[in-house]
């Protein structure tokens, strides 16, 4: 069976725009949620890890007449970076006036490699550590055009891509709900057109002209993990050569209000596995990975391979609408199936499990159940908590964990965890406070959801 490779990464997160900002933020390990700037957020704890205002995409406001919300714009921003990173972005499309609904507002300094203002300090350092992937077009001098960065660029026909074999599998828990919330509350002018709540995949597919499967997965907080596994299945079954996969999530007043009513929001920050944890705290953003068959990547001469999606395991608790099944039998089943499919062991070395990106949200039972299973399955394997860094990004959580896993495998370094305070003795899992070299060739990613939906993914190092 052909390997499924990760050949491109894109991110827009509370750490800023781009995967370089994300990797630096992982090492800084210093974040905190903010009060949402919503005058109608009448709730006890209106806290969230927000994308910095300077990094929120200016547009597009619509695509082909379809109004776009914050979630779709986040997804487009991350997908554009991932496709460019993979070396699949084409030259600028001609300006026909219609502009494919993309909006000239996006053609700003933010989109041209972040050359000005706040973005200038992000375009340094880590670029050199990414094998020069972003350096095409830079070496010709400061005035050379930025190849493929024009917001109107689609897929590059020179990459040998058949658009019928390019698919999109993206996820979101709330989609473009912010649009509808604005219309309901009168905060935004009502649209003359009906707008679906979950257009994320079709928007990205339309942008790039991807004529393969375009699907949006929305089974709550496991959604982007499922989207990535669907993407791998499309490649392995021969349905697609390349899949743009991941997830996007944006602030929703309804979602945050509901979790406040459930008493599931921590009043301080997201601190999974902490003795003081009192719930979760949401985050927003988008994480996108370009997955590609190894044969296709070789044929086109892919510039960088971050790793491979080596295994996946699905299961369902069939127990309760919101609570995890206390024994953890089904999350263990998903983990074991993913590890078995990948051929990963629990020891050190190339065939061993080097790290875990846990689901751990900061809710009481969820963290305990996952800790017990991990303690039995991989007791010495270090954990890295993405949610302690950027909060619980809902339908994008699995994708952010997968992106973090790909970066760890690529750099062969596990960054320090955000300090969580006193660890819960019932959550006896190793959360290193310092940066450390990777000791195994595989990383395990977990994502769980309401309805008992569970998924585990195993990412492996790229073959030499």
- At 355 the three-state DSSP class reads strand
Which of 392, 410, 411, 427 does the annotation list as catalytic?
392
Which of 221, 270, 296, 427 does the annotation list as catalytic?
221
Which of 45, 359, 410, 411 does the annotation list as catalytic?
359
Helix and strand counts by DSSP (H, E) for the chain: 12, 16
The span from the CA of 433 to the CA of 455, in Å, is: 27
The span from the CA of 78 to the CA of 87, in Å, is: 14
Q: Which of 216, 190, 185 is nearest to 72 (CA)?
A: 216
- At 75 the three-state DSSP class reads helix
Q: Which of 188, 442, 417, 129 is nearest to 311 (CA)?
A: 442
Look up tokens 């996820």; give the residue.
171
The neighbour count for residue 58, using CB atoms within 10 Å, is 15
Residue 195 phi/psi, 5° resolution? -130, 130
The span from the CA of 459 to the CA of 356, in Å, is: 10
Q: Which of 315, 324, 310 is nearest to 353 (CA)?
A: 310
The span from the CA of 190 to the CA of 185, in Å, is: 10
Q: What tokens appear for 342 in the block?
A: 């990948």
- At 89 the three-state DSSP class reads strand
Look up tokens 């991110």; give the residue.
11
Annotation says 359 is catalytic: yes
**Catalytic positions, written as ranges:** 221, 359, 392
């Amino acid at each position: 069976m052909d390997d499924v490779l990760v050949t491109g990464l894109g991110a827009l997160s509370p750490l800023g725009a781009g995967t370089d900002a994300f990797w630096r933020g992982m090492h800084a390990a210093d974040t905190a949620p903010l009060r949402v700037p919503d005058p109608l957020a009448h709730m006890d704890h209106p806290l969230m890890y927000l994308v910095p205002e300077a990094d929120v995409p200016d547009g597009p406001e619509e695509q082909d007449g379809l109004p776009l919300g914050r979630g779709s714009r986040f997804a487009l921003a991350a997908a554009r970076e991932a496709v460019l990173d993979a070396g699949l972005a084409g030259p600028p499309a001609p300006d026909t006036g219609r502009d494919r609904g993309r909006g000239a507002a996006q053609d700003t300094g933010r989109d041209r490699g972040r050359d000005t203002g706040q973005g200038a300090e992000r375009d340094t350092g880590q670029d050199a550590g990414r094998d020069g992937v972003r350096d095409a077009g830079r070496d010709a001098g400061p005035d050379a055009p930025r190849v493929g960065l024009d917001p109107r660029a689609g897929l590059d026909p020179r990459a040998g891509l058949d658009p019928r074999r390019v698919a999109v599998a993206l996820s979101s828990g709330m989609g473009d709900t912010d649009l509808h919330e604005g219309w309901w509350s009168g905060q935004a002018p009502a649209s003359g057109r009906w707008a679906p709540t979950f257009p994320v995949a079709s928007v990205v597919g339309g942008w790039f002209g991807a004529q393969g499967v375009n699907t949006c997965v929305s089974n709550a907080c496991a959604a982007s993990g499922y989207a990535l596994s669907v993407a791998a299945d499309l490649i392995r079954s021969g349905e697609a050569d390349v899949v743009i996969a991941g997830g996007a999530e944006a602030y929703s007043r309804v979602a945050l209000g509901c979790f406040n009513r459930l008493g599931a929001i921590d009043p301080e920050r997201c601190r999974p596995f902490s003795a003081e944890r009192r719930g979760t705290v949401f985050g927003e953003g988008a994480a996108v990975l370009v997955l590609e068959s190894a044969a296709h990547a070789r044929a086109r001469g892919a510039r960088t391979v971050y790793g491979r999606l080596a295994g996946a395991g699905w299961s369902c608790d069939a127990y309760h609408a919101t609570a995890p099944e206390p024994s953890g039998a089904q999350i263990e089943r998903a983990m074991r199936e993913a590890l078995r499919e990948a051929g990963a062991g629990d020891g050190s070395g190339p065939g061993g499990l080097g790290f875990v990106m846990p689901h751990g949200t900061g809710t009481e039972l969820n963290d305990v159940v996952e800790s017990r299973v991990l303690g039995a399955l991989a007791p010495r394997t270090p954990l890295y908590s993405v949610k302690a860094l950027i909060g619980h990004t809902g339908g994008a959580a699995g994708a952010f964990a997968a992106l973090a896993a790909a970066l760890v495998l690529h750099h062969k370094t596990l960054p320090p965890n955000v300090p969580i305070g006193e660890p819960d003795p019932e959550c006896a899992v190793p959360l290193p406070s310092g940066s450390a070299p990777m000791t195994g060739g595989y990383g395990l990613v977990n994502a769980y959801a309401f309805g008992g939906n569970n998924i585990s993914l195993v990412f492996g190092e790229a073959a030499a």
